[in-house]
Structure 1
Amino acid sequence: MNTLKYLAGYQQPIQDQVSELLANGKLKAILLSRHPDIHAIRTDRALYDYTIEIKNQYLRKSQPLSKIQYDDKISLSHQALGLHSFVSRAQGRKTKAKNEIRISSRLKKVPEPLLRMVVVHELAHLKEKDHNKAFYQLCCHMEADYHQLEFDLRLLLTLLDSGVKVY
């Protein structure tokens, strides 16, 4: 099993450095120094309020969200950490559209900045459907440390997959 599957897109020197930190047992200390505490957003209602607050701050005029919730069925081996779905349904002559955001339940026990990064990522899909330059610019507009937080989350997932309990 590839212990660095979450870092597969990164350059080899970075992967080597992470492998060394993991082998020497230092990766956990580095992550805990950056993100010592986990958030308290445990319920779907709290996640909804948290997400809507960010949406209203940066994407006030974007399409409304009909559902925001944690999802136990999101498997990290097959899917991302969150899902944004746009569902169109025909009802008579009208077409109804719904935007939904589902966040992996695995993110209930991570530091708040890492949860925020995933929420920002899913909210960015309201404006930009593809992972292109405009998408990542929007993510960085909503969260200035977006790329560092994404990397930190990948490090955390790498640690968890190696059997290290972090929080």
Structure 2
Amino acid sequence: MAVKNSSAKVAAAKDTLAGLVTSKDVQAKQKQQAQLKYLNGYSASTIEQVKRHIENDTLENLLLSRYPTIHDIRTDKALYDYAMEFKQQFLKQSDPISKVIFDEKISLSHQALGLHTYANRVQGNKVKAKNEIRISSRLRHVPEPLLRMVVVHELAHLKEKDHNKAFYQLCKYMTADYHQLELDLRLLLTCIELGKSPY
């Protein structure tokens, strides 16, 4: 009888051990979280779809089917002209922009692809506002709609400083598919994280 109880205890202990999370499980979970870090805040169903694309190795093809080519805006001057077209069309009354440039220093580690800086400078007895937009150099080689999404985002900060409802309405006013473009850009960042950029 003691042998039976001992066998039962050993079996129960094995079952318990089998149910424990191993360091491999933890590492796999951490790796998956790192891969999906650009999708925080999206619905569970969207994240599940992205996981399936990652598992099936189809995320790159999905982006290529939507955006087969990259833009040809390579210089800071071309980027400035590109941004100014949107400003003239949608934000004529907003403060002037003194600079729009590609910036090597903007890294993806902070999940930022663009920065809008605003400074007041005193010149004589006048105060002049200086607006600058910096776009990550990584966006030199992406499809035009994804660059447009970041440019529109930074331009919207000329009128709306915070990421509030009015801010996103302004983004959608300038490019109607803003939210889809933001998701697709995040999918591209996920591809880059996986070492499988399609561009």
- Which TM-score band applies after superposition, normalised by the shorter structure? over 0.9
* Partners of 2:103 and 2:137 within 8 A in 1: yes
Counterparts of 2:40 and 2:116 in 1: how far apart (Å)?
A: 23
Moved over 2 A (4+): 89-96
Matches within 5 A, 1:63-82: 63-82=95-114
Give the structure with higher Rg (CA): 2
Contact 2:115–2:154 (8 Å) recurs in 1: yes
Residues 51-85 of structure 1, C-alpha deviation per residue, up to 9 Å, x if partnerless? Answer: 00111011111110001000000011125110001
One-letter amino acid of the structure 1 residue matched with residue 116 of structure 2 = H
CA-to-aligned-CA distance 1:15-39 (integer Å, 9 cap, x gap): 1210110121111111110000000
* Unaligned ranges ≥5, structure 1: none
Task: Report the number of matched residues.
Answer: 167
Match of 2:26 in 1: none
Counterpart for residue 142 of structure 1: 174
Query: Which secondary structure does the structure 2 equivalent of 1:66 belong to?
Result: strand
Of 69, 87, 90, 1:58 maps to: 90
SS at match of 1:120: helix
Shift of 1:165: 2.9
Q: Distance in 1 between matches of 2:176 and 2:128?
A: 34
Matches of residues 102-117 of structure 1 in structure 2 within 5 Å?
A: 102-117=134-149
> Normalized against structure 2, the TM-score is what?
0.81
Distance 1:42 1:9 in 2: 32
Deviations 1:111-165 (A, max 9, x none): 0000001100000001111000010000000000000000000000100110103
- The 5 A counterparts of 1:1-167 are 1=31, 2-167=34-199
TM-fit CA distance, 1:94? 3.0
Greater helix fraction, Structure 1 or Structure 2:
2
User: TM-score if structure 1 supplies the norm length?
Assistant: 0.96
Gaps of 5+ in 2: 1-30
